[in-house]
């Protein structure tokens, strides 16, 4: 199971951009990550060398994790929510965000998020997140020359100074060491441990929002463009083209990133089928479903559920299911199903219609429980209740679909 997940994560990147893209991305001097919203937990599938350096993690500690592990107690919840909203709406955004390095030190960065679309069907394949560390507000005693002296790589424009992250940190450290603790913490809170500063820096600490300068915003844009140029070029090699702008509306049967993420939190076996598509194909299959039936994800998506039936499956039960779907009613049946390896099992199946924001049936959810299976639900719910709990969670997740959001707040 673990290895399957690791495979999914590697495959998510390699199958789209080829392995060679990794090397080319690593040569870019930026701190960024690529995440896959279609995998459970929306994990990081690629982290650049620059990112690992800035955050102080090794690659293995980061890949497979959700980006929120870099947030900490002082990360503004509202900013986190705005990122969540942007992911939900599958749009780009820039925000000043307080992140934490592995050693626990917080620092301000400009976070730029951009979705990567599939050229073919318009769905979101990945999100690219670029992190540009924000240099601290200029204080009178920091003469520009003083900063520049620390790094040849640094560029200076306007009233701000920025450059290669590591050098920037180095320069701050040197410039500020003689400041009072209050000012020290004000700079980035990087230097001393929190406990030392906790009281003395009251109200002046790292939680004071650091605003990114125009230069930093530009930097993020440049980084995003460079990254996209690598990604699009390599996607041409695999024949699975990606683009930075949505060229076509998401095709039928494609779930939004937000829905994928919400559904990924439900750990039981279930599938969503789309009644508006010919032959009502599966459009989402949970990891537990794949484990139960032995199929891989791409072997079940876009197929009708009937592949689960076999020689001894009762026709009257299949008819009952068909009828409940036609009348848009929920139903519970006991049906003999078959795994990929042809072994059979009794499936205690519950099917229910699920409605979107317009109040119309958008999907049917089918929840499978293998009968006689000893592993009791860890939450202590009986099979009926397990059915209900999945249906409830899916209903909540699907309810926001096609809400027809007006123009975004500008």
Partner 1 sequence: MVTVKQVEDDNLVSKGAIPEQLKCPQFCFQDIRIPLYRFSSQSLLDDSPFEGHVCITEDEQSALDSLLLALWEDKMWKGVLRYDVTTSEIKVIFGKRKFIAQLNERLGMDYVPKPEPDKICGQGNLSEFQWTKHQEEFLFYVACGEMAISELIPSAAMPDGALLIIINEIPVEYGHVFLVPCGSDSLAQVLDTKSLEMVARFAVEINNCSFRLFYDCPTAGTSHRYFEACYFPSPLPVELTPVDTFFHEGQRGMRISAVTDFPIKTLLFESNKKFKRMVEVLVEICCQLQEKSIPYNLLISDSGKKIFLFLQMQNMANSGTLSAWECGGYFLFQSRSEFDQATEETMLNKLRDVSLDDEGFQVVKELCCSIADKFVA
Residue 342 in the binding site for partner 1 (CB under 8 A)? no
Whole-number Cα distances in Å, 374 to 25, 286, 371, 381:
47, 20, 9, 13
Tell me the closest approach of the beta carbon of residue 96 to partner 1, in angstroms. Answer: 13
Residue 95 in the binding site for partner 1 (CB under 8 A)? no
Residue 249 in the binding site for partner 1 (CB under 8 A)? no
Tell me the closest approach of the beta carbon of residue 352 to partner 1, in angstroms. Answer: 8
Binding segment (CB under 8 A) for partner 1, from list 90-98, 137-145, 306-314, 389-397 = 389-397
d(CA 42, CA 88): 12
Residue 365 and residue 352 in contact, taking contact as beta carbons nearer than 8 Å: yes
Tell me the closest approach of the beta carbon of residue 24 to partner 1, in angstroms. Answer: 31
Tell me the closest approach of the beta carbon of residue 111 to partner 1, in angstroms. Answer: 17
Tell me the closest approach of the beta carbon of residue 27 to partner 1, in angstroms. Answer: 32
Structure tokens at 269: 């076996």
d(CA 19, CA 234): 9
Which residue is it, tokens 């503004």?
Answer: 76
Tell me the closest approach of the beta carbon of residue 338 to partner 1, in angstroms. Answer: 28
Closest to partner 1 by CB, 50 vs 353, is 353
Residue 264 in the binding site for partner 1 (CB under 8 A)? yes
Task: Find, among 204, 287, 220, the residue nearest to 7 by Cα.
Answer: 287
d(CA 281, CA 300): 9
Q: Cβ neighbours of residue 325 under 8 Å, at least 6 residues apart?
A: 275, 280, 351, 353, 364
Residue 79 in the binding site for partner 1 (CB under 8 A)? no
Residues that bind partner 1 (rule: CB under 8 A) add up to a total of 58
Give the x-and-dash track for 103-142 against partner 1 (CB under 8 A).
----------------------------------------
Residue 88 in the binding site for partner 1 (CB under 8 A)? yes
Closest to partner 1 by CB, 212 vs 224, is 212
Task: Find, among 380, 125, 377, 110, the residue nearest to 235 by Cα.
Answer: 125
Closest to partner 1 by CB, 140 vs 380, is 380
Tell me the closest approach of the beta carbon of residue 25 to partner 1, in angstroms. Answer: 26
Residue 393 in the binding site for partner 1 (CB under 8 A)? yes
Q: Using the rule CB under 8 A, which residue among 10, 14, 82, 236 binds partner 1?
A: 82
Structure tokens at 382: 């009986």
Residue 207 in the binding site for partner 1 (CB under 8 A)? yes
d(CA 354, CA 398): 7
Closest to partner 1 by CB, 51 vs 363, is 363
Structure tokens at 137: 């507000």
DSSP labels for 320-364?
HHHHHHHTT--EEEEEEEE-TTS-EEEEEEEEEEEE-TTSSEEEE
Residue 91 in the binding site for partner 1 (CB under 8 A)? no
Residue 62 and residue 55 in contact, taking contact as beta carbons nearer than 8 Å: yes
d(CA 90, CA 85): 8
Which residue is it, tokens 């099917």?
Answer: 351
Residue 104 and residue 192 in contact, taking contact as beta carbons nearer than 8 Å: no
Q: Which of residues 187-206 bind partner 1 (CB under 8 A)?
A: 194, 197-199, 201-203, 205-206
Residue 389 in the binding site for partner 1 (CB under 8 A)? yes
Closest to partner 1 by CB, 66 vs 344, is 66
- How buried is 106 (Cβ within 10 angstroms: 0-12 exposed, 13-18 middle, 19+ buried)? buried
Residue 374 in the binding site for partner 1 (CB under 8 A)? no
Would you tell me which residues interact with partner 1 (CB under 8 A)? 40-41, 66, 68, 72-74, 77-78, 81-82, 84-85, 88, 194, 197-199, 201-203, 205-207, 264-267, 330, 354-355, 357-359, 376, 378-381, 384-386, 388-389, 391-393, 395-396, 399-400, 403-407, 409-410
């Amino acid at each position: 199971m673990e290895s399957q997940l690791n495979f999914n994560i590697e495959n998510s990147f390699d199958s789209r951009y080829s392995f060679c893209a990794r090397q080319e991305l690593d040569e870019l001097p930026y701190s960024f990550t690529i995440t896959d919203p279609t995998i459970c937990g929306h994990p990081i599938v690629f982290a650049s060398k620059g990112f690992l350096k800035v955050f102080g993690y090794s690659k293995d500690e980061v890949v497979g994790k959700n980006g929120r592990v870099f947030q900490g107690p002082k990360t503004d919840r509202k900013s986190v929510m705005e990122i969540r909203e942007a992911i939900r709406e599958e749009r780009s955004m820039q925000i000043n965000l307080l992140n934490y390095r592995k050693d626990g030190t917080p620092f301000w960065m400009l976070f730029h998020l951009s979705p990567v679309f599939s050229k073919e069907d318009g769905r979101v394949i990945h999100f690219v997140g670029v992190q540009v560390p924000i240099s601290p507000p200029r204080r009178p005693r920091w003469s520009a020359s003083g900063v520049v002296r620390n790094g040849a790589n640094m560029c200076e424009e306007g009233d701000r100074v920025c450059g290669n992250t590591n050098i920037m940190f180095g320069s701050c450290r040197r410039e500020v060491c003689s400041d009072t603790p209050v000012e020290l913490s004000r700079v980035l809170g990087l230097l001393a441990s929190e406990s030392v500063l906790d009281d003395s820096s009251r109200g002046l600490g790292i939680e004071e929002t650091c605003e990114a300068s125009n230069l930093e915003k530009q930097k993020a844009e440049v980084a995003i463009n460079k990254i996209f140029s690598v990604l699009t070029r390599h996607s041409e090699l695999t024949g699975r083209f990606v683009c930075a702008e949505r060229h076509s509306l998401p095709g039928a049967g494609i779930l939004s990133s937000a829905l994928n993420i919400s559904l990924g939190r439900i750990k039981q076996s279930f599938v969503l089928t789309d009644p508006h598509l010919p032959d009502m194909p599966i459009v989402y299959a949970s990891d537990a479903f794949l484990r139960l039936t032995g199929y891989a994800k791409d072997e079940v998506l876009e197929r009708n559920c009937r592949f689960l039936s076999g020689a001894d499956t009762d026709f009257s039960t299949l008819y009952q299911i068909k009828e409940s779907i036609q009348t848009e009613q929920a139903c519970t049946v006991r049906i003999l199903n078959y795994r990929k390896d042809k072994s059979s099992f009794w499936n205690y199946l519950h099917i229910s219609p699920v409605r979107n924001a317009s109040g119309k049936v958008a999907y049917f959810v089918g929840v499978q429980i293998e009968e006689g299976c000893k592993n009791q639900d860890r939450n202590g719910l009986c099979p009926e209740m397990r059915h209900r709990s999945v249906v409830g969670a899916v209903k909540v997740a699907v309810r926001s679909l096609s809400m027809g959001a007006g123009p975004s707040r500008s």
